[in-house]
Structure 1
Amino acid sequence: MARLKQLVSLLPPRRRFSSLRSTIPRFRSSTLARRPHAAPAGPRWFCSEDISDLRERILLLSESPSEVSKEDKESLRSSVHTLAEELLALPDGQGLEASLGSGCFPDLLRRPPAGFASLELLSALKWHPLLALQVFDWRKKLACEIPVLAEEYSKAISLAGRAHNVTLATKLFCDAIAAGINETCIYNGLLSSCMYNGQTIRAMFVFEDMKKDTKCKPTIVTYNILLSLFSRSMLMDHLEKVLKAIEDSELPYTINTYNTVIAAYVTAWRWDKMEKIYQSMLEGPIKPDVTTLFLMLRGYAHSRNFEKMEQIYDQVKEIANSQHVSVLRTMICAYAKSSQPNRIKKVEALMKLIPEDGYRAWLNVLLIRMYAQEGLIEVMERFISEAFQQQTIVSTRGVMRSILTGYFKNNAVDRLAEFLKKAESAGWRLCRSLYHCKMVMYGQQNRLGEMHGVLDEMENFRFNRTRKTFLILYKAYANTGRRSEAESIFGMMWKHGLGNSNDSLVT
């Protein structure tokens, strides 16, 4: 009982995180790249991250694989998913007990392999964790007739974490321990719950408690959860300590181990380590899967390694174009921020694959800037109009300056004036450079009256006149041969405290 009370409290959150530094040994960052690949020794324990290993575990708990045919399992899975659809169709979960107690669910639970139906149902409802937890609560009522397996408790604990209810997850964990269900997967479920809620300190104390339990031993699934936790928290030093712990325990890496670490390095922008791990996969027995390739595609896009990015894209093009629009946006972003001579062509090819309803404000602004830099103001204005329609507000001075540069290159002062009116109304970030550019262009076209009108616009938006403002006026008058008016500008500069002894030398 003392142990259960300790687990319920799970330590106060105010404990200093620095005390965790000694929980996992320190090690060099290159460990993963030089890790020998050992063949898996037996089944891994269940975790919400490793559903593919779950079914093999269930078979070992009851029948041998030969006793349950593939057809029987598929039939059972189909029945479970039919029940899941029925439960999801219930209004706010009303009538849940009637649906489960109708005889269908108990019959499914009795069918071999043991626990398969329950776990399949919980997995089918994982995106509705509150409903899944109601199902598990009802499932426990049959425990006397059909014992609840450790994997079922583990899944329920993890689902409580998905529902952001760590208190419930802890209670389910203690219920399992009290019922004599004391296995590694129970700890893994509680670690997953902490991971989903970013409770790093609590997870580390659960991990330490697991290591003290003589009946349990951390598995690669346990370490994968910790890797995911530290990856999400951007605690790279602790992530690498976990990798050292895996090496010391001589556990074989799984594809989840590699993918989690690669994802962490991509997020942390550690391109050299990302590449080293990927190369170790190519050379080892565990080859990259689709998830790995998409992670590397993002990594190469963010690091502007276009050659390798395009190589990976060629491998996953069909899936990316139809199912992973976010990756296409990442590639567009990479091209738009680059200085490649053919970036427009590549961006437009990818933009054709983006759905019409796939508007993203950040991407729209990025494209505005790219086309402005290229001086393609017709296309630029099309994206500007879309931004106005979507009520997107540009607050970056660099983007605004790129826009005015695009207009200036095309000597399109009327278009600039029209854009400036709309930008003022839409609340976009204004800057003095916009008005100065407008004045310069009016002066070049000898439209001096309109040029003076810009001064009033600046005053309306509280942009004070600077020395540069008066020099623009001076050059406009001087270039049109109106010397007396040009000289009068110097008086205005002195009046505003902006004159100096070199003004008479300006020509």
Structure 2
Amino acid sequence: MTTTPPLPFASASLQLTSVPKPSYIQSSTHRPYPISRIRMCGISASPGKKTGPRKTRKKISSSPSSEAEDLVRSIVRNISDKEPLLSTLNKYVQFVRTDHCFLLFEELGKSERWLQCLEVFRWMQKQRWYIADNGVYSKLISVMGKKGQSRMAMWLFSEMRNSGCKPDTSVYNALITAHLHSRDKAKALAKAVSYFEKMKGMERCQPSIVTYNILLRAFAEAKNVDEVNALFKDLDESIVSADTFTFNGVMDAYGKLGMIQEMELVLARMKSKKIKPDIISFNLLIDAYGRKQEFDKMEQVFKSLLRSKEKPTLPTFNSMITNYGKARLREKADSVYQKMTEMGYRPSFITYECLIMMYGYCDYVSRAREIFDQMVESGREKKVSTLNAMLDVYCKNSLPMEADMLFESARASQMLPVDSTTYKLLYKAYTKADMKELVEKLLVCMDKDGIIPNKRFFLDALGALGSSSPSKKPTSRNDRLPKQAPTGRA
């Protein structure tokens, strides 16, 4: 096999200051695999946590925090229709304290169970050890904000003041963030600014760098360049100093919006402040240039990264593979993967999903399916995102029948998880392709699997239908898989 040449780099015109190597970068010495023979790299599993009795787990816990996490996981696992939340908490009443409740807020907040967070809060208030604390309210306000419950966040803010707690900077930061999750962005930004100005007049609530970072990113996401510049000027005149997070957040927001010139101005401002870019800075620049298909600049940043004291991370390579794929530059994407393995990086499941999607963009569906089958057969943990990636490849290449066969196989074999994201992806694709029979069949499957679509589910599908155009018909079926899908694999 001919060795793929290394990535070509343009002469560097965008110079980034190098920074010290972070301690969390790990090196690997596994044997690289050529792209034409992609195989599942055997990743040795990290020692899993034992699931024996609580006393056993206590012996192997390395710190009080890990003991608290173990206890919280046990509580969450035991919550069911037969054992509701409050009954479960009462069983653990001798052990649960404030730090456990904080972890419970986080665990419950990851799902749609925000109402259960309030149940935990009410349960806390009835315990002898409970003392009204700003931290508890701040955490709850943050959880409610992430779930779009700004009214509930405001109620908690009032409840906090009624309990005798005085607001501080962290509470106002949580309240601002909660409002920024509202659907009416203009109203949310106005409210956030009013809180910001109010904070300036209260000694114990002076804006911190976190406050500025929240607002700067929000206005960048709203494409309000004037307000971003005004906040930077305000920050320069305050006693608060900008940090790497400040500039990364704004550059990331501009980069995702394709506002490259504004992003580069923020980078210049960052350098003028003598703040050194970290690996996140490099990664978001690489991703932003890749999204806009400004590959010369993307390669320049990557070259600067390799010469710096920083080291690439898997997201660095994943982003380049994906963006080269979207531009149908398969050879360059292949060379990035080869360079990654030559440098000793071990691909993650996300890397393989990026490869699947890349080959899909490049009309190389059979290669995408090969990688998918290898992942399924590897014995590694199966993720719904992997199935969704392959289904998306079929749909984007106008192969709805192949997508349907794979979906049926996944459901029948139960080798891969199927959830609402899978149904949403297929519903939109089938609707856009005007495949009424497949849509009806999908709805029957949804009913059997207990998937209840919400309003957004159908609105997205109607949007896809409204923007649909004549489906792309492949000029050849040579790259397709046989109609008969294997029954033993998903």
Structure 2 length normalisation: TM-score? Answer: 0.52
Q: Report if the CA contact (8 A) 1:266-1:299 is conserved.
A: yes
2:353 corresponds, among 352, 358, 366, to: 358
1:100 corresponds, among 83, 89, 100, to: 89
Q: For 2:141 and 2:287, how far apart are their aligned partners in 1? A: 32
Q: For 1:179 and 1:389, how far apart are their aligned partners in 2? A: 51
Residues 1:178 and 2:178 are matched in the alignment: no
Residues 1:319 and 2:302 are matched in the alignment: no
Partner of 2:250: 261
SS at match of 2:253: helix
Matches within 5 A, 1:71-220: 75-92=63-80, 94-102=83-91, 104=93, 108-109=97-98, 116=99, 118-123=101-106, 125-128=108-111, 130=114, 131-142=116-127, 145-181=129-165, 182-200=167-185, 201-209=187-195, 211-212=197-198, 214-215=201-202, 216-220=205-209
Structure 2: gaps of 5 or more residues: 1-60, 342-346, 373-389, 399-432, 439-469, 477-490
Residues 1:367 and 2:353 are matched in the alignment: no
Indicate how the Cα distance of structure 1 residues 326 and 196 shifts in structure 2: closer, same or farther if over 3 A, else same: farther
SS at match of 1:327: helix
Matches within 5 A, 1:461-476: none
The percent of aligned pairs where both chains have the same amino acid is 20
SS at match of 2:362: helix
Q: Report if the CA contact (8 A) 1:271-1:299 is conserved.
A: yes
- Give CA-to-partner distance per residue, 1:79-131, whole Å, 9 cap, x none: 2211221132134474422343345576644xxxxxx5544543455423624
SS at match of 2:395: coil
Partner of 2:279: 290
Q: 1:281: how far off? A: 4.2
Residues 1:392 and 2:395 are matched in the alignment: yes
CA RMSD of aligned residues (A): 4.3
Q: For 1:219 and 1:167, how far apart are their aligned partners in 2? A: 24
> Which letter does structure 2 place at the counterpart of 1:265?
Y
Q: For 1:337 and 1:180, how far apart are their aligned partners in 2? A: 62
Q: 1:254: how far off? A: 2.7
- Give CA-to-partner distance per residue, 1:405-462, whole Å, 9 cap, x none: xxxxxxxxxxxxxxxxxx9x9974369xx89xxxxxxxxxxxxxxxxxxxxxxxxxxx
Q: Report if the CA contact (8 A) 1:195-1:228 is conserved.
A: no
- Give CA-to-partner distance per residue, 1:346-367, whole Å, 9 cap, x none: 2663798585962788644531
Q: Report if the CA contact (8 A) 1:336-1:347 is conserved.
A: no
Residues 1:277 and 2:272 are matched in the alignment: no
Q: In terms of mean alpha carbon deviation, does 98-107 or 350-359 score higher? A: 350-359
Q: Report if the CA contact (8 A) 1:80-1:108 is conserved.
A: no
Q: 1:165: how far off? A: 1.6
Q: 1:391: how far off? A: 3.5
- Give CA-to-partner distance per residue, 1:260-297, whole Å, 9 cap, x none: 11112212333344334335545656433332232122
> Which letter does structure 2 place at the counterpart of 1:146?
Y
Q: For 2:171 and 2:63, how far apart are their aligned partners in 1? A: 28
Partner of 1:301: 290
Q: For 1:309 and 1:334, how far apart are their aligned partners in 2? A: 19
Instruction: From the CA coordinates, give the structure whose radius of gyration is larger.
Output: 1
Q: Report if the CA contact (8 A) 1:161-1:194 is conserved.
A: yes
> Which letter does structure 2 place at the counterpart of 1:299?
A
SS at match of 1:101: helix
> Which letter does structure 2 place at the counterpart of 1:202?
A
Structure 1: gaps of 5 or more residues: 1-72, 110-115, 369-378, 396-422, 436-507
Q: For 1:389 and 1:281, how far apart are their aligned partners in 2? A: 39
> Which letter does structure 2 place at the counterpart of 1:135?
V
Q: Report if the CA contact (8 A) 2:180-2:188 is conserved.
A: no
2:216 corresponds, among 227, 242, 245, to: 227
Indicate how the Cα distance of structure 1 residues 98 and 230 shifts in structure 2: closer, same or farther if over 3 A, else same: same
Q: In terms of mean alpha carbon deviation, does 90-99 or 169-178 score higher? A: 90-99
- Give CA-to-partner distance per residue, 1:18-69, whole Å, 9 cap, x none: xxxxxxxxxxxxxxxxxxxxxxxxxxxxxxxxxxxxxxxxxxxxxxxxxxxx
Q: Report if the CA contact (8 A) 1:195-1:225 is conserved.
A: no
Q: For 1:98 and 1:430, how far apart are their aligned partners in 2? A: 58
Q: Report if the CA contact (8 A) 1:301-1:309 is conserved.
A: no
Indicate how the Cα distance of structure 1 residues 211 and 235 shifts in structure 2: closer, same or farther if over 3 A, else same: closer
- Give CA-to-partner distance per residue, 1:307-349, whole Å, 9 cap, x none: 32322664776631xx6774243343377459xxx73752663
Q: Report if the CA contact (8 A) 2:144-2:178 is conserved.
A: yes
Q: Report if the CA contact (8 A) 2:317-2:337 is conserved.
A: no
> Which letter does structure 1 place at the counterpart of 2:224?
L
Q: 1:301: how far off? A: 2.4
Higher helix share: 1
> Which letter does structure 1 place at the counterpart of 2:197?
K
Q: Report if the CA contact (8 A) 1:153-1:173 is conserved.
A: yes
Q: For 2:217 and 2:391, how far apart are their aligned partners in 1? A: 40
Q: 1:244: how far off? A: 2.7
Indicate how the Cα distance of structure 1 residues 96 and 248 shifts in structure 2: closer, same or farther if over 3 A, else same: same
Q: Report if the CA contact (8 A) 2:176-2:195 is conserved.
A: no
Structure 1 length normalisation: TM-score? Answer: 0.50
